Chains A and B, each alone.
Chain A
Amino acid sequence: MIKFLTKGLLRDRSRSLFPVLVITLTVALVIFTIGFMKGTMNSLFLDTAVILTGHEKIVTRAYNEESQLMPNDLALLDADQLIHDLNQDYPDFFWTPRITFAGLLDVPDENGETQSQGPVIALGIDLLSTNSRQAEIWEMDRVLVEGSLPQSREDALISTKLAEQLDLSVGDPVTFIGSTMDNAFTTYNFNVSGTFNLRKGQTDKQMMLVDLSGARLALDMDNAASAIFGFTHSLYYDDEAAVALRTHYNNTKSDSLDIFSPFMLALRDGNQMGTMVDISGAMIAIMGGIFLVVVMVVLWNMGLMNGLRRYGEVGLRLAMGESKGQVYRSMISEAVIIGLTGTVVGTGIGLALTYYVQENGIDYTKGIEALSNSSMVMPNIFYAQVTPDLYYIGFIPGVLATVLGTMLAGLAVYKREMAQLFKELEI
């Protein structure tokens, strides 16, 4: 039967090719639009996550209370064991230590005397470990302007804005002046191995990136970390899962009476990100929903029109003795075949397009430079995101709407009276 119907569809292009093309294009558009919206929102979150919050972040309870002051005397101790446990307990994430510190950067002249000095906000990130994904998530190949990535713990990357302010070049020595985690005075020599530009407005104005081992030595923070950041392996932020994990961790691993007990924060818990996450979720739902409804109406209408267009053919088949049920079922079967074909092809095209934009992105650098502020880190390149729901969401308009449209049009079959048929067909 299916073979018979398929043959019919292939031989009558007006019944197959055009509807399949419409469904294919529509489904591809639905998938790409939803994927792009999700990807764009994820790009927004990922940039904030990489620099400030992680998808999950673990700090001590006391550090969380005073996080604006970067209180490294309240840092996490025995960080390696903590990360080992996190990797075992929560394998869906990769966990990495981070030291955030501030102080002065002193540039010496040829006699070793102070030539220039300026405030610096430094991040100690794990750049040198073999399996570290930090260079990847910071997109170092893209943001590095001059020089090379740190090769040793003495190497530092300086933002182009800070380098310009202090008149620094690649290869210059600089001395960090600040406080250890015991609040003792500390100085530490770094070598500028390269300069970077995050291209996110003023975010990196005073920023220096060093390897975690250098930060630990400079601040006397052996096996300690300001925070441990967690990221999903796909780098896609799933708010519901993140909140569930945070709640579970805090209920089972954190002691509310111990101010040095580890405490987990989801991305939505920091820097007013909760509102952003909620707004973006609502926006995707509303925009996606409206788009889906519009597309469904279009395909429904197409199914309806197809049914009505075949008014004469249906009459002839009934006149020739086919039962109403047979005709109705064959029409629906055809709609299912057309819907499925168009949806499968459309899903394939939509996913391919989404994947391409996921990997390559669309560059909006100039517009974003003007919009960036310090509380929310804005991305410059927007990426789409292939998510599991994109594999099936096309079936709602592609198959369901087409079949429903055909079912509605097909109801007319049952209203036809045999007595009227011959008159209608002028036989």
Chain B
Amino acid sequence: MISKALLGILLLTTLTSVGKSEEMTASELVKAMDDNLNAKTRVLTSKMIVHGRRSSRTIESRNWVKGIDQAYTVYLAPPREAGTKMLKDGDKLWTYSPQTDRVIQISGHMLRQSVMGSDMSYNDMMEDRPLTDLYEATVEGSEMIDGRKHWILFLEAKVKGLSYPKRRAWVDSEYLLPMKEELYAKSGKLLKSTSMDGIKKVQDRWFPTRYIFKDELKKNSKGTEWIIDDIAFDTDIPDSRFEKAMLRK
């Protein structure tokens, strides 16, 4: 009896959410994605598995993120990377390496370099602004992937200077998350592709526990996995966490 009621509630919820997404416009879909992915604050522990051409490396880190401007990362493993710290404050990015005991600002063309040898660049890491602020979206259609309905959204930049002026996203109609994305240059050349899975409900929002990034310009790239071990949204993070002095501590 209880299980039947639960099944009924689940079915109703699913139908409601699917029905809801059926009525959503492109901009509403983008906003829903932003709401799922962004938060006032985020604290997470994650693993980045970089699949190189010879071997794979696992890099563990803990991140504190506040809004879209501030982020602080401490690398925990492997030993060579352990103790390395990164601080983002607005459009500035600093890194601290215990081997050299230097705080170095990363700027210019270095921002286009890969983070820890992954398929992500520092620019990718720096970009936290909501998609709503950056892109105009249009719905191109829908597609069934693994038995689930996905909206195909095409996003075109409405601000200048973005790393990816065009992108195409396959948005799950229930989770309202971009399960698959293709990121393009202005010319239309495919630069990167991403996908996500392991969707879990975390604090009333759907959130992926695994991302896969692939730099399409890297020959024979096997991509980078980013696995989120734990994540907490909207927790209090003291402002001191984002001070430059924290890098040397």
Contacts and interface: CB of A to CB of B under 8 A. Distances in A.
A106 B95 CA distance: 12
A187 B117 contact: no
B201 interface: no
**Most chain A CB inside 10 Å of its own CB: which residue of B50, B55, B97, B102:** B102
B105 interface: yes
Interface string A192-224: 000000000000000000000000000010000
A106 B107 CA distance: 11
A187 B102 contact: yes
A259 B50 CA distance: 20
Contacts of A113: 103
A288 interface: no
Interface stretch (B21-29, B108-116, B138-146): B108-116
Contact of A114 (B55, B105, B219): B105
Contacts of B107: 117
Interface residues of B, number: 31
B249 interface: no
A112 B101 CA distance: 9
Nearest to B108: A117
Interface string A383-410: 0000000000000000000000000000
Interface in A106-121: 106, 108, 112-114, 117, 119
Nearest to A74: B53
Contact of B117 (A74, A114, A182): A182
A272 interface: no
Nearest to A77: B54
B80 interface: yes
A185 B117 contact: yes
A184 B81 contact: yes
A189 interface: yes
Contacts of B97: 185-187
Interface in B54-78: 54-55, 57, 59
Given A62-B53, A66-B219, A182-B57, A187 B105 contact: no
A66 B218 CA distance: 11
A184 B59 CA distance: 10
A177 interface: yes
B102 A73 contact: no
A179 to B, nearest CB: 6
A355 to B, nearest CB: 49
B52 interface: yes
Interface string B98-132: 01111111111110011111100000000000000
A260 interface: yes
Nearest to B57: A182
Contact of B104 (A114, A119, A220, A260): A114
A73 B53 contact: yes
A182 B80 CA distance: 11
Interface residues of A, number: 26
B84 interface: yes
Contacts of B100: 175, 187-189
Contacts of B99: 187-188
Given A66-B219, A220-B80, A112 B116 contact: no
A326 to B, nearest CB: 82
A276 interface: no
B110 A177 contact: yes
Contact of A177 (B55, B104, B118): B104
Contact of A106 (B52, B57, B84, B102): B102
A88 B219 CA distance: 36
Contacts of A112: 101-103
B104 A185 contact: no
A116 to B, nearest CB: 11
A104 interface: yes
Contact of B80 (A73, A177, A184): A184
Contacts of B105: 114, 117
Interface string A160-192: 000000000000000101011011111111000
Interface string B183-202: 00000000000000000000
A184 B118 CA distance: 8
A73 B54 contact: yes
A185 B53 contact: no
Contacts of A186: 97
Contacts of B108: 117
Given A182-B52, A187-B97, A175 B104 contact: yes
B116 A184 contact: yes
B54 A260 contact: yes
A220 B101 CA distance: 18
Contact of A183 (B52, B80, B84, B219): B52
Contacts of B110: 104, 177
A62 B219 CA distance: 11
23 contacts: A66-B219, A73-B54, A108-B102, A112-B102, A113-B103, A117-B107, A175-B100, A177-B110, A179-B113, A179-B114, A182-B52, A183-B116, A183-B117, A184-B57, A185-B97, A185-B115, A185-B116, A186-B97, A187-B95, A187-B99, A188-B99, A220-B80, A260-B54
Interface of B: 50, 52-55, 57, 59, 80-81, 84, 95, 97, 99-110, 113-118, 219
Given A114-B104, A179-B117, A188-B99, 13 more contacts: A62-B53, A74-B53, A112-B101, A113-B103, A182-B117, A183-B114, A183-B118, A184-B57, A184-B117, A187-B100, A187-B102, A188-B100, A220-B80
Interface of A: 62, 66, 73-74, 104, 106, 108, 112-114, 117, 119, 175, 177, 179-180, 182-189, 220, 260
